[in-house]
Amino acid sequence: MKRITIITLVLLAANFAIASISAHQPFLASTEIPSLAKQDTTTKKVDEFKRIDVNQLNENVQSAIKKLAESYQIDEVWYNEARQITKVVISSNADKSKMEVILDNEGKKIE
């Protein structure tokens, strides 16, 4: 008899939970959740760097890269047209560790 009572109570609780969830279902369905795909496309446009030749950059950035080349090896140069910044991947001559330096259009380092 106790088992039947417990099973009945569990079934009633499950039925109540299902009913309360389905009552809120239209609200949940109408709430718009932004998709990650939309966010990725907007972020991609802003953070899109393209490889570029140093000679295609303005004189200020070229001179800043030449100063970096005195102490480091220049591995890659990337440019973001939307944000007008240059990313320079350099490696240390001593220990070959790599790091990135971000320069604005005036050739100043962005921290």
pTM: 0.57
Between 18 and 97, name the one with better pLDDT: 97
Name which of 56, 76, 54 is nearest 66 in CA terms.
54
Q: What is the pLDDT of residues 23-65, one digit of tens each?
A: 655 555 555 555 555 455 545 555 699 999 999 999 999 999 9
Q: What is the pLDDT of residues 68-97, one digit of tens each?
A: 999 999 999 999 999 999 999 999 988 889
Using the Cα atoms of residue 78, residue 79, residue 80 and residue 83 in order, give the sign of their dihedral: positive
Q: How far apart are CA 79 and CA 47, in angstroms?
A: 10
CA distances to 57, 62, 76, 89, 94 from 53, rounded to whole Å, are 7, 10, 9, 13, 25
- The answer to whether the beta carbons of residues 52 and 77 sit under 8 Å apart is yes
Question: Tokens in use for 89?
Answer: 């991947």
Map tokens 């417990």 to a residue: 6
pLDDT at position 93 is 84
Q: Which amino acid is at 109?
A: K
Average pLDDT, stretch 99-107?
95
